[in-house]
Amino acid sequence: MNGEDARATCMLAVERLTVAYGRTVAVQGIDLRVEVGQVVCLIGANGAGKTTLMRALSGLLRPEAGHIRLEGADITGQPPHRIAALGMRHVPEGRQIFAGLTVAENLALGAWLEDESAEIARRLEQVLALFPRLRERLAQMAGSMSGGEQQMLALGRALMGAPRLLLLDEPSMGLAPLFVEEIFGIIEELKREGRTILLVEQNASAALEVADYAYVLETGRIVLQGPAVQVAQDPAVLAAYLGG
């Protein structure tokens, strides 16, 4: 494959990325790729460095070393608004919706880079078709909804930005089992639409089921990677993450 083709199919390329908090190195020289149209999952125990990596990708943390390329453009060290303008949207751990604003206001904020009101209306229809519950609650204060509904709102807000790459950090964390199922159903649907997603999850079995490709992160390093079906059968993964 020549360089131009590689750029056309590679959404995200992370090279030798290191991220630290002072002297605590949380991500140690990671290489990772997400191809266009793929769902890639990153699994790993609490404290492995998953959120740190996601925050570095979207520009919230400045890497110590390494490179991040989005569709071929080097975005290493760029501020979050610049990276967002290139099409990356990050649904953060813990959702981070605006509790004191309505559902409609939260969704509108997701389209802050778009001026065309017809385009914003089109995206809103798409999001509400995906999350009918949000349609019923457009005028409701976001903070008064359940955790699962707030996660849907966080996802919907990111989709309002018409992302080229969606980063999802623990979307099922802390949710009741029925909502966990619903959230993974939504991720399946986004995959069918051909969206490109980097998914971080502690729910390894559900993540490996939806993903095309998987990485396993342990104390800041990638210790295993491969097609998700293969990673799901790896004896070490079965023992450590799948209760096997």
Ligand X SMILES: Nc1ncnc2c1ncn2[C@@H]1O[C@H](COP(=O)(O)OP(=O)(O)O)[C@@H](O)[C@H]1O
Q: In the complex, what is the shortest distance from the CB of residue 52 to Mg ion, in angstroms, rounded to a whole number? A: 8
Question: E strands, 85-243, where?
Answer: 88-91, 165-169, 197-201, 213-218, 221-227
Assess 50 for contact with ligand X (CB under 6 A). Answer: yes
Stretch that binds ligand X, among 1-9, 18-26, 132-140, 229-237 (CB under 6 A): 18-26
- Restricted to residues 66-95, the positions that interact with Mg ion (CB under 5 A) are 93
When CB distances are held under 5 to 8 angstroms depending on the partner's kind, the choice from Mg ion, ligand X, none that residue 46 binds is: ligand X
Coil/strand/helix, residue 97: coil
Would you count residue 106 as binding Mg ion (CB under 5 A)? Answer: no
Q: Which one of 28, 51, 76, 172 is in contact with Mg ion (CB under 5 A)?
A: 51
> How far is residue 133 CA from its own chain's centroid?
22
Burial class (CB in 10 A: 0-12, 13-18, 19+), 30: buried
CB of 216 to Mg ion, least distance (A): 15
Which two three-digit tokens encode residue 146? Answer: 């359940």
Among the listed ranges 19-27, 133-141, 173-181, 227-235, the one in contact with ligand X (CB under 6 A) is 19-27
Look at residue 101 and give its three-state secondary structure. Answer: coil
Q: How far apart are CA 82 and CA 205, in angstroms?
A: 34
Please tell me the number of Cα atoms within 13 Å of 213 on its side-chain side: 14
* Token duo for residue 196: 């490109």
For ligand X, the binding residues in 29-48 under the rule CB under 6 A are 44, 46-48
Residue 47's binding partner among Mg ion, ligand X, none (Cβ under 5 to 8 angstroms by kind) is ligand X
Q: Is 117 in the site for ligand X (CB under 6 A)?
A: no
Reduce the DSSP state of residue 159 to 3 states and report it.
helix
- Can you tell me the distance from the alpha carbon of 136 to that of 100, in angstroms, rounded to the nearest whole number? 18
Q: In whole angstroms, how close is the CB of 97 to ligand X at the nearest point?
A: 19
**CA gap 76, 16 in Å, rounded:** 12
**Residue 174 binds which entry of ligand X, Mg ion, none, with Cβ cut-offs from 5 to 8 Å by kind?**
none
Interface residues with Mg ion (CB under 5 A)? 50-51, 93
Interface residues with ligand X (CB under 6 A)? 21, 24, 26, 44, 46-52
